[in-house]
Amino acid sequence: MDPENILKGKIAEVLVEELLRESKNKVYRFGNGEILQNLIQSEKSFNRESRTGKKISSIPDFVIITKEKKSLFLEVKFRTDPEALEEELLLEKEFLERFWKAKIVLVTSKEKPYFRVLTPPYFVKEKREGWPIPVLNWLPLEDDPELKVKSKILKKFEKLVEKYYQILYKV
């Protein structure tokens, strides 16, 4: 994987983690990083493409405890172009959506809203030219009723998106 894309993803994770903390949610790192790496290194026969491998690969980044004491799983994604995530989710949503029932927060630097959230089910069916088409059900993060992100806090983090992702694109 491209180191620059890894860096963009890690920045997105930290931004969302701190934004949710400042919004009075409890945020715990979860993720598959350590588990998957240890399994692949120690178990030569571990198959990442098996059903178990895909479940492990899909472990969400965070466990969130909201102000109302509700727990939920949250995956963070960065995409310059939000539409780039659509095809990936159509093909790979099974475990994240159905098994983990995770929310997805997308961080994008292309246009506002820079922070968008999906809650399962990720897609709604819309009829276009008579055909049912799956369409992502994005909401601006501040409209999520469970995470309760305030506009003032969001604006602070939007400035960070503009500042740090612009630097990466100039390199």
Number of domains forming the structure of the chain:
1
- Kindly report whether the global pTM for this prediction surpasses the value 0.85: yes
> Do the domain assignments include residue 12?
yes
pLDDT at position 170: 62
Residue 53 belongs to some domain of the structure:
no
Residue 69 lies in a domain: no
Which domain range does residue 136 map to? 3-25+74-170
Residues 38/73, Cβ–Cβ less than 8 Å = no
In a domain, 8, yes or no: yes
Q: Is residue 38 part of a domain?
A: no
**Under a CB-based contact definition with an 8 Å cutoff, are residues 64 and 26 in contact?**
yes
| 62 in any annotated domain | no
Q: Note every long-range contact of 31-35, with CB atoms under 8 Å and residues 24 or more positions apart, other chains counting.
A: 31/59, 31/60, 31/61, 31/62, 32/56, 32/57, 32/58, 32/59, 35/59
**What pLDDT score does 149 carry?**
97
Residue 116, domain member (yes or no): yes
What is the chain's pLDDT, residue by residue, as a tens digit (171 residues)?
688 888 899 999 999 999 999 999 999 999 887 677 777 777 667 787 888 888 888 899 999 999 999 999 999 999 988 888 888 888 888 889 999 999 999 999 989 999 999 999 998 888 888 887 888 889 999 999 999 999 999 999 999 999 988 876 665
Domain-embedded: residue 43:
no
